[in-house]
Amino acid sequence: MNAPMTLDLSAVDSPRSATHRPLPTPAELRRELPVDAELASRLADQRQAIRDVLAGRDERLLVVVGPCSIHDPDAALEYAERLAALQASVADRLLLVMRVYVEKPRTTVGWKGLAYDPHLDGSDDMAAGLASARRLMRDVAALGLPVATELLQPMAAAYFDDLLSWVAIGARTTESQIHRELASGLDACVGFKNGTQGNVDVAVAAMQSAAHPHRHFGVTAAGTPAMIETPGNPFTHLVLRGGQDGPNHDAASIAASRRALEAAGLTPRLMVDCSHANSRKDHRRQTEVLHSVVDQRLAGERALMGVMLESHLFEGKQPLNPAALRYGVSITDACLGWETTAQQLMRAAERLRG
């Protein structure tokens, strides 16, 4: 067993204070990278399509798919172009939404994502990172693909939330009151993940909270402190990602989650994250989880409305070494490669056609 980490504080001066580097306001970045009327209409249609799936008006399977995280916008845009072409082949049974994850949660330290460190060198040029993230999301949405991301830092959300159609609140932040308040004011649909232990109670409570109006501390798009009033977000659902006890995508776990939602007075809407504990942290097993969901849908489980997959142009992952990065390979969690992803999504669509 490793010895516990200790910090040597003997050389730390006191008192210490944080330093500040100004960033553009969300309003300034939105003016620099605007949404025109045509794209605004497309974004409204993309959000409505996902809402229709959540409401049961559209029986397609929602598929949130793409890189674990974005570190190379060029590779991400190539992936998006391929995904948009694939959508045309599966649109009768699948609604594809692209993961454009620009923030990454860290247990201790590490690369925090494109929005923080776009140059991958620890310089943390956040102004450039926010611009790069917004530009990429705008380009993906313009291709006709709804954009999905995980919102980790609430203050970053206003820089690109007008481009989002689907949002994840992660297992470590689902319990956060600040993230529940944030979700209550979003136009995007929101998936709350079960806790890292595997229990769904925290996510169920988050859905209840996000559905209600809130008043909370915040900052306007112009950068002014304000009391924010939110209307409540009825377009939320539960995301099952497994837990410390193992996967929770099996029929018994799905039924238990459905009952928990119904007992809380919520419409049972369930998405399965095919990665993380559900794949036992083996990216190649994501396809098994995908087809387990398809099996259950074919058996009549209507509460199952979606899946998540981590996928990039090429399979696997690589260490963060800016001098020797392979194009289209994840630098965070290992991903399925494009060929496997396309093949398995076409197979899922064919199976759902009956």
pLDDT in tens, 214-238: 999 999 999 999 999 999 999 999 9
Q: Give the pLDDT of residue 213.
A: 98
Average pLDDT over residues 202-225: 97
Q: Give the pLDDT of residue 109.
A: 87
Q: Give the pLDDT of residue 121.
A: 95
17: pLDDT confidence band, cut at 50, 70 and 90?
confident
Question: What residue spans of the chain are helical by DSSP H?
Answer: 26-32, 37-55, 73-90, 126-142, 154-157, 177-184, 201-210, 251-263, 286-298, 338-353
Residues forming beta bridges with residue 218, ordered by sequence position: 226
Query: Does 340 have pLDDT greater than 90?
Result: yes
Whole-model pTM: value is 0.95
Q: Give the pLDDT of residue 1.
A: 46
Q: Give the pLDDT of residue 8.
A: 63
Handedness of CA 323, 326, 328, 331 (dihedral sign): negative
pLDDT in tens, 113-124: 999 999 999 999
Q: Provide the CA 120 distance to its chain's centre, in angstroms.
A: 21
7: pLDDT confidence band, cut at 50, 70 and 90?
low
- Domains along the sequence of the chain with CATH: 46-353 (3.20.20.70)
Q: Give the pLDDT of residue 3.
A: 55
Average pLDDT over residues 289-297: 98
